Amino acid sequence: GDSVTQMEGPVTLSEEAFLTINCTYTATGYPSLFWYVQYPGEGLQLLLKATKADDKGSNKGFEATYRKETTSFHLEKGSVQVSDSAVYFCALGARGGGNKLTFGTGTQLKVEL
Amino acid sequence: KAGVTQTPRYLIKTRGQQVTLSCSPISGHRSVSWYQQTPGQGLQFLFEYFSETQRNKGNFPGRFSGRQFSNSRSEMNVSTLELGDSALYLCASSNNPGTGADNEQFFGPGTRLTVL
């Protein structure tokens, strides 16, 4: 079945550091890929998405590129801020399979001054 | 446009009881999905409803059930509660029919269920 593997956390960075959170997937066909963010006490917010190979999703300085050859969708940000502290989830949606999302385990990011 | 709303936000029940959670999707969204979030298992898909029909179902026992009304509002029910059912239950809605490439979901704040 479909699955998503993302790097274990927690990840602790200093403000303005470079961020990478790795995400790889296993799926039949060509799924859509998403990064969601969850702030303490809140639900999930869509951060960015890519629906086909080589697409780059971007939002709020975060980027991720859909790499079919490596089945990856790594999240990057050039300069993190304290306000980026949250849990980040990589997810996939099977094409034509309804709106079910399969999530990774989440990576907690803590950014310190 | 109002977001996805879930009621109640917090709930405390005892083992053996049953519980009903409610979700109101974004206006115009016909798809509603439910997820269970726990520290041990992460985010797990429960089921999806589209136009009042269950379209997808995750690997949960029959104690977990749901339904969707004609106005797209959805409820999920858990009967004979167990300690392990303590979790954050998230509802998500979408205006995508789910037949194409974009499965973007909009999530509510969740209902925190504690089973004692």
pLDDT tens sequence across A4-32: 999 888 999 999 999 999 999 999 888 99
Does residue A70 belong to the interface with chain B, where contact is any CB pair within 8 Å?
A: no
Does residue A44 belong to the interface with chain B, where contact is any CB pair within 8 Å?
A: yes
All residues at 6 or more sequence positions from B103 whose CB lies less than 8 Å from its CB, including other chains: A32, A34, A93, A94, A97, A98, A99, A100, A101, B94, B96
- Helix, strand or coil, per DSSP, at residue A27: coil
CB A25 within 8 A of CB A1: no
For residues A75 and A97, which has the higher predicted lDDT (pLDDT)? A75
Residue of B33, B42, B109 with shortest CB distance to A100: B33
Does residue A53 belong to the interface with chain B, where contact is any CB pair within 8 Å?
A: no
Nearest CA in chain A to B95: A99
Inter-chain CB proximity B43 and A106 less than 8 Å? yes
Digits of tens for pLDDT over chain B (116 positions)?
A: 689 999 999 999 999 999 999 999 999 999 999 999 999 889 999 999 999 999 889 999 999 999 999 999 999 999 999 999 999 999 999 987 766 667 788 999 999 999 99
CB A94 within 8 A of CB A7: no
Nearest CA in chain A to B88: A43
What residues of A are in contact with residue B33 (Cβ under 8 Å)?
99-101
Q: What is the pLDDT of residues A32-84, one digit of tens each?
A: 999 999 998 888 999 999 998 999 999 999 999 999 999 999 999 999 999 99
What is the C-alpha separation between B60 and B45, in angstroms, rounded? 9
* B42: exposed, middle or buried (Cβ count in 10 Å: 0-12, 13-18, 19+): middle
